[in-house]
């Protein structure tokens, strides 16, 4: 299949999603106007048909289509998860060195009655918010803020929950001047030896070191329609084929979606999403997600600090392959 054909297929797929959403809206509008029981029965039938279409659509999506869902502008971000899953949230600001990076949310809260620390990316809904949040791309001060909160959590014995949804760390000159690479590397080292449970979840897109800098966890999850990769499909296509239009081909080859990542041993568990994706129902998505977090926290709480650190280290060592080069 040519690149043009694949792009056309992707456009058709996304257009089909929009058509399903339009049908759902029509059904909802008609329900409010239905005057009789017969009319209500017909609307129920139509609603079931729309649900079947949506289920079929999401069941047969390819990696590139799932990447588009992961980037959906209405997908829940960290503050949405906080609203639906946590209580007593107190946001903590600043890295005590340069400033406060608003692309990363950090703070303390209670999860189903248990004190925890929260770290997560925040993209913003509209252009103004996205500029303030730097499109969810942290700078060094963001990662240093995250590390400060992780160390605070370790001091007081609070489990750490991270929510990953970023295209990557900010690649600007100012970020490089302030030590972007060093900040990410330091987080990787320090997270590997935190003495408290760490659960990382890719809730949308997990891009490169910008994601990994807050993803060294005892459990690494991914939402059903999320993706996790060393580079974006567009970036990979541009490097390999010098053509960003081949992003769909790159997405397939890179094995970036949940099912592939579990098979590769990168991801521990896939968090299910409500019908139609997490962006359609934040509350239902939070309920499903919360049950997974609660179960994992319960299991990790029985381990000592020494056991957590050792198991976490071995977990990430197993992701690599080593070869002896014989001269």
Residues 255 and 313 in one domain: yes
Distance CA 190, CA 293 (A): 22
Residues 138 and 36 in one domain: no
Low-confidence winner among 53-67, 176-190, 249-263 (lowest mean pLDDT) = 53-67
Q: What is the model's pLDDT at position 16?
A: 62
Distance CA 290, CA 200 (A): 13
CA dihedral (136, 315, 259, 302) in degrees, to 10, reads: -90
Mean pLDDT of 259-281: 91
Low-confidence winner among 32-46, 129-143, 295-309 (lowest mean pLDDT) = 32-46
Residues 221 and 92 in one domain: yes
The parent domain of residue 40 ranges over 3-60
Q: What is the model's pLDDT at position 6?
A: 44
| Angstrom distances, CA of residue 174 to CA of 90, 98, 136, 143, 186 | 29, 12, 16, 15, 19
Which residue among 35, 60, 85 closes a domain? 60
| Angstrom distances, CA of residue 106 to CA of 26, 71, 78, 277 | 40, 22, 9, 26
| Contact call for residues 119 and 92 (beta carbons, < 8 A) | no
Q: What is the model's pLDDT at position 65?
A: 87
Dihedral pair phi/psi, residue 187, rounded to 5°: -60, -40
Structural domain count, the chain: 2
Mean pLDDT of 235-252: 92
148 located within any domain:
yes
Residues 53 and 87 in one domain: no
Whether 19 has a pLDDT exceeding 70, the answer reads: no
Q: What is the model's pLDDT at position 3?
A: 42
Whether 24 has a pLDDT exceeding 80, the answer reads: no
Residues 18 and 122 in one domain: no
Q: What is the model's pLDDT at position 61?
A: 79
Categorize the per-residue pLDDT at 84 as very low, low, confident or very high, splitting at 50, 70 and 90.
very high
Whether 184 has a pLDDT exceeding 50, the answer reads: yes
Whether 199 has a pLDDT exceeding 90, the answer reads: yes
Whether 290 has a pLDDT exceeding 90, the answer reads: yes
Q: Which two tokens stand for residue 301?
A: 């709480």
Mean pLDDT of 213-220: 96
Strands (E), the chain: 86-91, 104-111, 114-121, 160-166, 198-207, 219-223, 227-229, 269-271
Categorize the per-residue pLDDT at 4 as very low, low, confident or very high, splitting at 50, 70 and 90.
very low
Whether 80 has a pLDDT exceeding 80, the answer reads: yes
CATH number of the domain that 263 lies in?
3.90.226.10
Residue of 282 and 18 predicted with greater confidence: 282
| Contact call for residues 210 and 166 (beta carbons, < 8 A) | yes
Low-confidence winner among 23-27, 155-159, 203-207 (lowest mean pLDDT) = 23-27
| Contact call for residues 164 and 120 (beta carbons, < 8 A) | yes
Residues 130 and 25 in one domain: no
Residues 97 and 12 in one domain: no
Whether 234 has a pLDDT exceeding 70, the answer reads: yes
Residues 13 and 98 in one domain: no
* First CA to last CA distance, the chain: 42
Residues of the chain with pLDDT > 90, as a percent, come to: 70
Residues 128 and 269 in one domain: yes
Spell out the residues 6+ positions from residue 13 whose beta carbon is closer than 8 angstroms to its own.
Answer: 57, 61, 62, 65
What residues pair up with 44 in beta bridges, in sequence order? none
Spell out the residues 6+ positions from residue 114 whose beta carbon is closer than 8 angstroms to its own.
Answer: 159, 297
Q: What is the model's pLDDT at position 286?
A: 96
């Amino acid at each position: 299949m040519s690149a043009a054909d694949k792009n056309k297929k992707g456009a058709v797929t996304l257009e089909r999603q929009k058509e399903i959403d339009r049908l759902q809206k029509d059904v909802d509008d008609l329900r409010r106007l239905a005057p009789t029981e017969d009319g209500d029965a017909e609307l129920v039938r139509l609603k079931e048909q729309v649900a079947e279409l949506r289920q079929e659509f999401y069941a047969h999506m390819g990696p590139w289509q799932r990447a588009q869902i992961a980037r959906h502008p209405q997908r829940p971000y960290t503050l949405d998860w906080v609203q639906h899953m946590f209580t007593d949230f107190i946001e903590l600001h600043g890295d005590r060195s340069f400033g406060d990076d608003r692309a990363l949310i950090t703070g303390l809260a209670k999860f189903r009655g248990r004190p925890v620390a929260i770290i997560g990316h925040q993209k913003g809904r509209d252009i103004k918010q996205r500029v303030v949040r730097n499109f969810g791309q942290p700078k060094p001060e963001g990662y240093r803020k995250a590390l400060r909160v992780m160390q605070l959590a370790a001091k007081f014995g609070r489990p750490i929950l991270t929510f990953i949804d970023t295209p990557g760390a900010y690649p600007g000159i100012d970020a490089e001047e302030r030590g972007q690479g060093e900040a990410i590397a330091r987080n990787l080292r320090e997270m590997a030896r935190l003495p408290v449970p760490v659960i990382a979840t890719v809730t949308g897109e997990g891009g490169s070191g910008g994601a990994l800098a807050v993803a060294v966890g005892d459990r690494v999850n991914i939402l059903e329609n999320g993706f996790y990769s060393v580079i974006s499909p567009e970036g990979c296509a541009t490097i390999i084929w010098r053509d960003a239009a081949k992003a769909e081909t790159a997405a397939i080859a890179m094995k970036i979606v949940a099912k592939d990542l579990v098979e590769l041993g990168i991801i521990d568990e896939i968090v299910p999403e409500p019908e139609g994706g997490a962006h359609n129902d934040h509350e239902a998505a939070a309920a499903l997600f919360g049950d997974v977090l609660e179960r994992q926290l319960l299991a990790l709480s029985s381990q000592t600090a020494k056991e957590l650190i050792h198991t976490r280290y071995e977990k990430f060592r197993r992701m690599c392959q080593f070869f002896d080069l014989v001269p």
